[in-house]
């Protein structure tokens, strides 16, 4: 157990609970068109935003431990940052460090992958996004693993490439394929049979997400595993052929292709093989992982499921423990605010519905399962509706608010954290009307919580883990204009945004204990120190600074 937090000698905090509301996926949009947060009638949030100390926080890129500020934040790393009060290396940065140090090759999973094929005489397969976009993967990671595999005596490897054209140039595939073929030729010159075996565009095969279209995954499975697809002599031939046949086609939409010799695929996945899915980002890795790992799989007919040793580059879902084996461990996060509050004997509540329950518990606690204190912590999961989110965009925000309002009234907890999933989960549907509805439903519940906080003499902190619903239309990066679909309507955007998120502090008993002007330029990791200060304690010295500029009145 950690040492308890030290009390602030100049301020003891408030009598009522400190309530941290995480409005998942709610940011400040860069464009008016497609900004569902701006379009929604969020009366309570707007009033608080206008009358309370407010600032904007960074929730993407380096501010949450990702490699660059071109990288979108996500709920996992966002809750890590909020809960631990510091920035830990995530995703690509973590993989880079692991490869540079050699730790990835000293780990159990890499050793078992290699041992498996040496024992069976099988093939080492790599599947992943084939570019240096650094959002889902990086080609340098693939190259480093191939180099190491050769050093360890792996004689046969097959690479199944998912063409990008989204995080890199739209028709840049050959800029990666041609040098890579030269790279593989060097291995073959040294007696290692390393070849590209199959591929296709990332939007056409394998990399579906959120269950949007399992046929995308089926096409990938049939192509990579079974060797079913249009046959070509090389990836270059496949790309050039499709470009000729489908004028204007971009890389992400290229149909599947199978490399064959004398009519036979050169790289089907068979019993005894080892398979690495080398994407480090999880959202588009979960479905193909399920196809490899799940016994009771019902999304499509796999026809055959080879007995392989399967591993992901990283753990794609910490709650579900998916995949079973992964090469790079999540960051070793310690000394979270939850652990500090438990060591200080403060009673806390964490609550959300199923979709984000793991985020206010597991991820908020630094990828740690279980509680720090059974006596001092209560975790409440409200079961989510099992219907498409656009059909129930209000989700379970009312039920979450019911529980929180009651807890505030009873004065049961010093600190309450909750997640309203609406802005993110409904945001991913791309249905603008549903997103607006979900945000407005959430705002009604925010008003209820505000009233309860005021009556109890507490403090309310409103924020988010990343943007999403603030950017619901695709925009041209150069002109800023909305991109239209084939029907002439705005093209829906279902991914997270790069936009900042709010930090609003509602403190109805404020008496000048801190400046109303909050610090600017900080990231969401500053929220941990902020909450500790509002509870009347001194944050750990190595926590990222609070948004508060404390101007305590001296005795």
Alpha helices in 411-548 (DSSP H): 422-425, 432-456, 526-534
Q: According to CATH, what is the number of the domain 6-18+26-86+332-538?
A: 3.40.720.10
Question: What are the b/e assignments for 268-290, b being 16+ CB within 10 Å?
Answer: bbeebbbbbbbbbbbbbbbbbbb
Q: Are the CB atoms for 91 and 314 separated by under 8 Å? A: yes
Alpha helices in 254-334 (DSSP H): 286-293
Q: Are the CB atoms for 25 and 78 separated by under 8 Å? A: no
Alpha helices in 73-128 (DSSP H): 75-84, 91-101, 103-106, 108-120
SS3 350: strand
User: Are 6-18+26-86+332-538 and 92-328 equal in CATH topology?
Assistant: no
- In whole angstroms, give the CA distance from residue 124 to residue 503: 48
Pairing of strands 459-463, 501-506: antiparallel
Quick count: other Cβ atoms within 10 Å of Cβ 551? 11
| pLDDT for position 555 | 37
| pLDDT for position 248 | 84
Q: Are the CB atoms for 14 and 530 separated by under 8 Å? A: no
SS3 193: strand
Structure tokens of 16? 């009522």
Q: Are the CB atoms for 506 and 460 separated by under 8 Å? A: yes
Task: Out of 17, 51, 68, 75, pick the active-site residue.
Answer: 75
Strand partners, 193: 156
Segments making up each domain of the chain, as ranges: 6-18+26-86+332-538, 92-328
Strand partners, 126: 159, 276
Q: What is the pTM of this model?
A: 0.75
Let me know if 75 is a catalytic residue: yes
Quick count: other Cβ atoms within 10 Å of Cβ 15? 10
Backbone dihedral angles phi then psi of residue 549, each to the nearest 5 degrees: -105, 95
Burial class of residue 525, CB neighbours in 10 A (0-12, 13-18, 19+): buried
CATH 3.40.1450.10 assigned to 92-328: yes
Q: Are the CB atoms for 23 and 524 separated by under 8 Å? A: no
Pairing of strands 501-506, 54-57: antiparallel
345 CB-near residues (< 8 Å, 6+ apart): 4, 376
pLDDT 10s per residue in the chain (555 long)? Answer: 799 999 999 888 899 999 999 999 999 999 999 999 999 999 999 999 999 999 999 999 999 988 788 888 888 889 999 999 999 988 888 999 999 999 999 999 999 999 999 999 999 999 999 999 887 899 999 999 999 999 999 999 999 999 998 777 788 999 999 999 999 999 999 999 999 999 999 989 999 865 768 999 999 999 999 999 999 999 999 999 999 999 889 899 999 999 999 999 999 999 999 999 999 988 789 999 999 999 999 999 999 999 999 999 999 876 578 999 999 987 778 999 999 999 999 999 999 998 899 889 988 998 887 899 999 999 999 999 888 889 999 999 999 999 999 999 999 999 999 999 999 989 978 899 999 999 999 999 999 999 999 999 999 999 999 999 999 998 988 899 999 977 898 988 877 889 999 999 999 999 999 999 999 999 999 999 999 999 999 999 999 999 999 865 433
Residue in this structure with the two tokens 């030290």, named with its chain if needed: 6
Kind and range of the H or E element at 377? strand 377-382
276 CB-near residues (< 8 Å, 6+ apart): 113, 124, 125, 126, 127, 128, 145, 311, 312, 313, 327
Where are any strands of DSSP class E within 50-192? 54-57, 124-129, 156-163
Question: What are the b/e assignments for 490-502, b being 16+ CB within 10 Å?
Answer: beebebbbbbbbb
């Amino acid at each position: 157990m950690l040492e308890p937090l030290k009390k602030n000698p100049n301020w003891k905090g408030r009598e009522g609970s400190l309530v941290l509301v995480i409005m998942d996926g709610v940011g400040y949009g860069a464009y008016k068109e497609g900004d569902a947060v701006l379009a929604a009638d969020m009366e309570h949030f707007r009033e608080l935003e206008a009358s309370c100390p407010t600032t904007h926080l960074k929730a993407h890129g380096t501010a949450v431990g990702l490699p660059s500020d071109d990288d979108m934040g996500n709920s996992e790393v966002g809750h890590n940052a909020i809960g631990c009060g510091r920035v830990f290396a995530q995703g690509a940065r973590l993989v880079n460090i692991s490869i540079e140090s050699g730790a990835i090759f000293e780990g159990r999973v890499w050793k078992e992958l290699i041992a498996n094929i040496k024992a069976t005489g099988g093939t080492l397969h790599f599947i992943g996004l084939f570019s240096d976009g650094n959002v889902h993967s990086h080609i340098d990671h693939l190259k480093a693993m191939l180099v190491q595999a050769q050093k360890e005596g792996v004689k046969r490897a097959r690479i199944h490439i998912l063409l990008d054209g989204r995080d890199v140039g739209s028709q840049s595939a050959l800029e990666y394929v041609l040098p890579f073929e030269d790279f593989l030729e060097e291995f073959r010159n040294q007696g290692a049979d390393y070849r590209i075996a199959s591929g296709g565009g990332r939007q056409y095969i394998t990399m579906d997400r959120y269950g949007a279209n399992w046929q995308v995954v089926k096409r990938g499975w049939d192509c990579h595993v079974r060797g079913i697809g249009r046959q070509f002599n090389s990836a270059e031939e496949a790309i050039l052929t499709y470009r000729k046949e489908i004028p204007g086609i971009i890389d992400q939409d290229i149909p599947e292709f199978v490399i064959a010799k004398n009519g036979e695929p050169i790289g089907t996945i068979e019993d005894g093989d080892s398979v690495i899915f080398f994407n480090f980002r999880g959202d588009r890795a979960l479905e193909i992982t399920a196809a490899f790992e799940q016994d009771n799989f019902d999304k499509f007919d796999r026809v055959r499921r080879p007995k392989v040793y399967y591993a992901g580059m990283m753990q794609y879902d910490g709650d579900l423990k998916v995949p079973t084996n992964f090469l790079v461990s999540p960051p070793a996060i310690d000394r979270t605010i939850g652990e500090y509050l438990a060591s200080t004997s403060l009673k806390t509540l964490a609550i959300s519905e199923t979709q984000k329950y793991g985020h206010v518990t597991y991820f908020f606690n630094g990828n740690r399962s279980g509680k720090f204190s059974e006596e001092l912590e209560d975790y409440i999961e409200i079961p989510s509706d099992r219907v498409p989110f656009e059909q129930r965009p209000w989700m379970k925000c009312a039920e979450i608010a019911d529980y929180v309002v009651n807890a505030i009234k009873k004065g049961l907890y010093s600190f309450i954290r909750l997640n309203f999933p609406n802005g993110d989960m409904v945001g991913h549907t791309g249905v603008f009307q549903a997103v607006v509805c979900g945000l407005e439903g959430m705002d009604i519940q925010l008003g209820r919580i505000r009233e309860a906080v005021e009556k109890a003499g507490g403090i309310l902190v409103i924020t988010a883990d990343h943007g999403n619903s603030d950017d619901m239309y695709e925009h041209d990066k150069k002109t800023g204009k909305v991109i239209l679909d084939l029907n002439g309507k705005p093209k829906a955007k279902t991914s997270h945004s790069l936009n900042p998120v709010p930090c609003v502090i509602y403190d109805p008993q404020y008496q000048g204990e801190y400046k109303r002007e909050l610090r600017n330029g900080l990231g969401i990791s500053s929220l941990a120190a902020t909450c500790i200060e509002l509870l009347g304690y001194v944050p750990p010295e190595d926590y990222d600074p609070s948004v508060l500029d404390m101007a305590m009145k001296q005795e």
